[in-house]
Amino acid sequence: MSRIAVLVWLTAIMVAALGLFHVKYEVQRLEEELGLEHQSILERQEAIHILKAEWSYLNQPARLSDLARRHLGLAPMVGTQVVRLDDLPQRAVQKAEVPTPTLDAILARARNSR
Amino acid sequence: MNPPDTTFVRTRRPLDLDTGSDPTSMVLLDGTIKQCLEIGRTRLLAAGLVFAMAFLVVGLRLVDVSLLTDGNEPRLAAAPRSNALETIRADIVDRNGVVLATTLPTASLYANPRQVLDPEAVAARLSAALPELPGAELAAKLAAERSFVWLKRKLSPRQQHEVNRLGIPGLYFQHEPDRVYPHGALTAHVIGFAGMDNRGLSGIEQAFEERLRGATRPLALSLDLRVQHVLTEELAAAMATFRAIGAAGLVLDAESGEVVAMASLPSFDPARPGEADDDARFNRASLGVYEMGSVFKIFTTAMALDQGAVGLQDGYDVSQPIRVASYTIRDFKPKNRWLSVPEIFIYSSNIGSVHMAMDSGTPSQKAFLGKLGLTRAAQIEVPEVGQPMVPSPWREINTMTISYGHGLAVSPLQMVSAVAAVVNGGQLVPATLLKRGGGERVVVRRVLSARTSRDMRWLMRLAVQNGTGRLADAPGYLVGGKTGTADKLRGRRYARSARIASFIGAFPMDRPRYVIFAMIDEPKGIESTHGYATGGWVAAPVVRRVIERMGPLLGIQPKALDEEEGADRHLVPVNLKGTVFAAN
């Protein structure tokens, strides 16, 4: 009786110890992985930071206007080029004969589009 | 148990005292020995009890810690934080988030000469990759009997890559943060610069040292880089055309007091401030103080109108020059007749302005200019702020000369703040270089009535439509403004050949959004301006082009030309070649 108990306890201890070590190594591995991820995030952030500075440098207004002039043939816009929608003359539209859709047709279209 | 009457006790287990050979032999203990044993047993018991208690306490604590409490146990493992990049100095951005100053990691190249095998060959390869390092000097450094020598500080990423690609043993990189200004000279005077130790030495960098150091949140300025570029480019073009020695310009939001652009030319490269001379590093827009000339007539007219000293219908005879003490005050282009107040303003008559100032009086002029912030240094974030030169004592002759902008020197920054107050409805808003939220007005002080402000807007518009500021008229944007030409002081007298040409304008005049100032220092007349180098010929076109270019950028709706005049006009007779103009 006591021998069985001892055996049971020994097995339990072995299993617990193995489980403990397994969890411990798993945690260690995950922590390492986490550290690497954090490091790579920081590296990416630093890269983004540098790229932002470079983006700002490449977007120097003088450089952009020079590029636009040379390659796109663009010039700065002036106020007289801006027209409001209200200022446009009304277009003379010839009303085409559009059949008034029935309720059934509208519902059918709605169903199809779904 | 032992019988109580026996004198000898028999131990339950035989003690192995001397022989121990016979287990059945009995040891009889006499009184002394028995006593000793009793004491020993008691001590043992006591000690055992203490230890048992201690183990019990440890055991209970163990149960308590491992099973009952979890308060001290973190539910989640603490992770190293990586959500924010730690920089030693925060970025500075413009109002749209464009990076104006940032801190980048740079690599500095050093060598351990003891590990360098062939100094000559290494020097040759290295100076091929970094042409600015002479080969002979490098070879000498690499041959030195030391274990550390700097080769080049703060390499660019491309240079670092080049050096890395050579794969020379004995060369190493040391990472150092460096302050970088992507827009260089364009924003140099506002941003300032930081020294080798990344400590701000001028401009915003110096003023916000505490805020920037060790922070990650960027500092947003009120500047708009696009407008800054437009202003700088147009000023530089005018400077080149008129062979001027310098220029300054400002664009101010008339509602919020935000400085949208501030330019001072010549400028300098903030990455190499040591190579720039003092003139280039001098901020003409905030530190320089100048006698502004006729642009001051805005304040003289506003004062006279606001105090009721004159009305828009009044006028003066300007045919006679004014002689005071040894001075004679004349007009630049004499009209030799009676001029109405609007005419005095749009033709920029010195004599008429003097009459208006004298009718208002010296104390009220002093008080009025003081209210507009023209007699004390401007309040702005950068440390480079000029102290205005105010006459002391303020005599009648000073009142006369100040009425047309001589005898009181102010900075362009003070100028735009004051004019913003004149045109925005009469409220002085403190100027700022920091971005303010959604057009809010802070610490507003009324300096003149809304009625006067409206009249002044009309007068300034009239000066551009029909007066000296015609060249500032950008079609559709309702530009209003005033020209100014001031002779510069050379020693104790005014120099006729050295002058400051300026123009201060605002647009659109029905509800001014921006006040724009342009100033050219010592322009020379050219053929296409008929030899003139006045504010109307030099500075007004700069303002027109700046407005034409910034209007579409900032989404300001240009007006069709015929809808300029508003609904509620009142007629003011202005004797302009026999025409009558309507005031809004």
Residue scoring higher pLDDT (B70 or B520): B520
Percent of chain B with pLDDT over 70: 86
Residue A95: predicted pLDDT:
64
For B295-308, the pLDDT digits (tens) are: 999 999 999 999 98
| CB–CB contact A45 B225 (8 Å) | no
| CB–CB contact A59 B98 (8 Å) | yes
Residue scoring higher pLDDT (B92 or B28): B92
d(CA B355, CA B347) in angstroms, rounded, equals: 15
Residue B177: predicted pLDDT:
84
Q: How confident is the model at residue B6 (pLDDT cuts 50, 70, 90)?
A: very low
Q: Which residue has the tokens 């053929």?
A: B527
Residue B13: predicted pLDDT:
55
User: HSE of B468 in the Cβ direction (CA atoms, 13 Å)?
Assistant: 31
- CA-to-CA separations, B69 to B62, B66, B541, in angstroms, rounded: 10, 7, 79
d(CA B112, CA B148) in angstroms, rounded, equals: 5
Q: How confident is the model at residue B338 (pLDDT cuts 50, 70, 90)?
A: confident
Residue B76: predicted pLDDT:
60
Q: Chain-centre distance of CA B266, in angstroms?
A: 19
Q: How confident is the model at residue B488 (pLDDT cuts 50, 70, 90)?
A: confident
Residue B568: predicted pLDDT:
44
Q: Give the tokens for residue A3.
A: 């021998």
Short-list B392, B372, B359, CA closest to B298: B372
Residue ranges covered by each domain of chain B: 9-44, 92-221, 228-583
Q: List the beta bridge partners of residue B503.
A: B483, B518
Short-list B346, B348, B354, B300, CA closest to B327: B354
Residue A73: predicted pLDDT:
84
For residue A19, give how far its alpha carbon lies from the nearest alpha carbon of chain B (Å): 18
- Which one of A34, A56, A63 makes the best mutation probe of the B interface by having the most chain B beta carbons within 10 Å? A56
The interface pTM score, or ipTM, of the predicted complex is 0.72
Residues on B contacting A at a C-beta cutoff of 8 Å? 77, 79-80, 82, 85, 87, 98-100, 102, 104-105, 157, 180, 182-184, 186, 225-226, 228-230, 233, 474-477, 548-549, 551-552, 557-558, 560
| Residue A27 predicted with pLDDT over 90 | yes
For residue A28, give how far its alpha carbon lies from the nearest alpha carbon of chain B (Å): 12
Pair B489, B305: CB distance under 8 Å? no
Mean pLDDT within B8-26? 53
| Residue B493 predicted with pLDDT over 80 | no
The CA-based diameter of chain B, rounded to the nearest angstrom, is 154
Residue B172 phi, psi dihedral angles, 5° rounding: -135, 160
d(CA B514, CA B478) in angstroms, rounded, equals: 12
Residue type, B224: D
Residue B79: predicted pLDDT:
56
For B519-570, the pLDDT digits (tens) are: 999 998 888 888 888 888 999 999 999 999 898 888 888 876 555 554 444 4
For B163-220, the pLDDT digits (tens) are: 888 888 888 888 888 888 999 899 999 999 988 778 889 999 999 998 888 788 889 9
Q: Chain-centre distance of CA B527, in angstroms?
A: 39
Residue B2: predicted pLDDT:
46
Residue scoring higher pLDDT (B519 or B584): B519
| Residue B16 predicted with pLDDT over 70 | no
Residue B578: predicted pLDDT:
46
Q: Specify whether B294 is catalytic.
A: yes
| CB–CB contact A45 B475 (8 Å) | no
Q: List the beta bridge partners of residue B329.
A: B322
Residue B226: predicted pLDDT:
93
| Residue B117 predicted with pLDDT over 60 | yes
d(CA B233, CA B546) in angstroms, rounded, equals: 9
- The closest CB to that of B104, out of A50, A59, A60, belongs to A50
Averaged pLDDT score across all residues of chain B:
84
Q: How confident is the model at residue A15 (pLDDT cuts 50, 70, 90)?
A: very high
Mean pLDDT within A57-69? 91
Architecture category of domain B92-221 in CATH:
Alpha-Beta Complex (3.90)
Mean pLDDT within A38-44? 88
- CA-to-CA separations, B114 to B109, B123, B170, B559, in angstroms, rounded: 16, 14, 8, 75
Residue B104: predicted pLDDT:
86
d(CA B389, CA B383) in angstroms, rounded, equals: 18
Q: How confident is the model at residue B584 (pLDDT cuts 50, 70, 90)?
A: very low
Lowest mean pLDDT segment, chosen from A34-48, B77-91, B333-347 = B77-91
Residue B532: predicted pLDDT:
82
3-class SS of residue B163 = helix
Residue B440: predicted pLDDT:
59
- Element holding A12 (H helix, E strand): helix A2-58
Q: Identify the CATH class of B228-583.
A: alpha beta
Pair B373, B445: CB distance under 8 Å? no
Q: How confident is the model at residue B577 (pLDDT cuts 50, 70, 90)?
A: very low
For residue A62, give how far its alpha carbon lies from the nearest alpha carbon of chain B (Å): 7
